[in-house]
Amino acid sequence: MLEYSMLYPRETVSRRCVSMDGLWKFQFDETSQGVANNWMNGLPNPIDMPVPASFNDFFTDKESREYVGDFWYETEVFVPAEWKGKEIAVRFGSATHRATVYINGVQVMYHEGGFMPFVAVMGEHVRYNEKNRISVLVNNELTATNIPVGETKVLPNGKKMAKPYFDFFNYAGLQRSVNLIATPIENIKDYTVWFELEENKAKVNYTVDSNTNKEICVALYDENGTQVATSIGKEGVLIVENPILWKVRDAYLYKIVIEIFEGDTIIDRYYDEIGIRTVEVKGTEILLNGSPVYLKGFGKHEDSDIIGRGFSYPVMKRDFELMKWIGANSFRTSHYPYSEEMYQMADREGFLIIDEVPAVGLFASIMNFLEASSGKQTAFFKRETTPQLLKTHLRAIEEMITRDKNHPCVISWSLLNEPETTDESAVPYFEKVFEFAHEIDVQKRPRTFALIMNSLPHTCKCYQFSDIISLNRYYGWYLNGGYEISEGEEKFRKEMDAWKELNLNRPFIFTEYGADTSAMERKLPSVMWSQEYQVEYLEMNHNVFDSYEFVKGEQVWNFADFQTTEGILRMNGNKKGIFTRQRQPKEAAFYFKKRWESLPENYKSHE
């Protein structure tokens, strides 16, 4: 078990939670002298910086936007005297990519991994009935041993520059909410649920992690607030008669309440929302509650104007409304776990999520999207840095599954995106990653990884580890685009025929396929980058998908245009969005709406 709680902060009779979002002080530390110069006790020349948000796009000068290295955040928070006797902590939704936290000048926490929450316990350093200084030293450099993977280049002028092995901008900062939390000393650390469905009955199995031997009571309530089941103990079973199951685009959530008692006194109380459902892969079917489902949706990014990768309720709301409008039922959290609020919304709206760890860039190329079908080999997993990378990777998987394991929306774990799999050295690495994910997930969700175009039936050494085969394919764009699209379709079908010959008896889904498209470009006849060509490209791909019974899902790349590193092959970012970065539809959106609304939920099932 992780040494700190991943529970989402909630206020109850025993818990307090105060938002620390707002304007923080901020300062770049180009020479990494902040610690030596005592910046944890006050920044010398700070500016204001919104939290949560990426820092990059607020600036009007390029050096600030592209800044790589150390930088600091600072704020003050008041801790009331009535909280004495509780455990006081600051919970960060994330800090990209690594952070050291100081409380009143004293270091209390270090965390690596830019997309997961962590808790800095104030302990003896808290000052009651007065303000406390919270200082955070953050670093956004890319390395070979942290995920996502990349390099940090030093330019002749001494400035550092991010050189990612991935095709999205290296946004950084305190990009998710920060909260001051107070919990009882004896408290609920975590809980886990998994389900068994019987006729007119559901078994909700649970375990509770806590630091007490006092009595623990667990109760379940329906959406009307009626108690439907209760149990005593750190582990047990809640029996629900005539349960209302959580279904695709038809969500039903029960409220689980966990309490620690001493006699009649509540020592701690925590609550959450859960959905009763099962998920499994059987043959070529993806089954939810035993019924087949065909995935329709997107690869996404946490990316929007001005705030970059910063979490925004308005942007999230717009995204879900657009996904409902277009007829989608799923998305992949490419290429990192998203903000916790996204999963909560997906739970409520009945969307299915393929939850992806930040293991992107495990292919040594600054332009991997271009070299994806080149046959290039870099023997990535033979590097001397591989053991440390694996350790980092496994830790990230543990954090992701620990945080997201109880969400009904999460139906699969994606453990890598577009890694190099053409060398035998990848096999033991994959074996450890896939075994570990299976071991720690009580629900035993299906596991997958997204195969780059170099990973073909006769070249990929690792597809056997996947319960669902996920293909990222760009026939008609990076390969045989434009007037050559007919040849691209022939090559596409040839590959799919080769997969079919392997008779893997597993579901295949397409986790990426797409064509860069300018929302301003219309052309008759079509040319690449025009809206007309995007639709033609999609039609070709869907004709191929529809030809193979074992293809059980399509998640187009991408939901919306997003920012990337600048270059001659990227026109101010990746333009493969079905919607613009401002969340307005391209022509392809109307095409998808017509297609997806016509496809039944169990499309191509054996039923």
Please tell me which residue in 285, 398, 420, 512 is annotated as part of the active site: 512
Q: Is the peptide bond before 335 cis (omega within 30 degrees of 0)?
A: yes
The strand pair at 70-79 and 130-139 is best described as antiparallel
* Token digits of residue 431: 């074996």
Rounded to whole angstroms, how far apart are CA atoms 108 and 106?
Answer: 6
Rounded to whole angstroms, how far apart are CA atoms 514 and 556?
Answer: 6
End-to-end CA distance of the chain: 41
Catalytic residue flag (residue 512): yes
Please tell me which residue in 418, 420, 536, 554 is annotated as part of the active site: 418
Length of the chain: 607
In sequence order, the 6+-apart residues with CB closer than 8 A to the CB of 327 are 296, 592, 593, 595, 596, 597, 599
DSSP conformation letters of 240-291: EES----BTTB---EEEEEEEEETTEEEEEEEEEE----EEEETTEEEETTE
In sequence order, the 6+-apart residues with CB closer than 8 A to the CB of 421 are 430, 451, 452, 454, 455, 459, 460, 461, 462, 463
Count of CB atoms within 10 A of residue 80's CB?
A: 12
Helix (H) or strand (E) holding 496: helix 485-502
| Nearest CA-CA partner of 238 in 269, 196, 277 | 196
DSSP 8-state assignment for residue 374: T
Q: Is the peptide bond before 525 cis (omega within 30 degrees of 0)?
A: yes
Rounded to whole angstroms, how far apart are CA atoms 304 and 53?
Answer: 10
Q: What are the residue numbers of the active site?
A: 418, 512
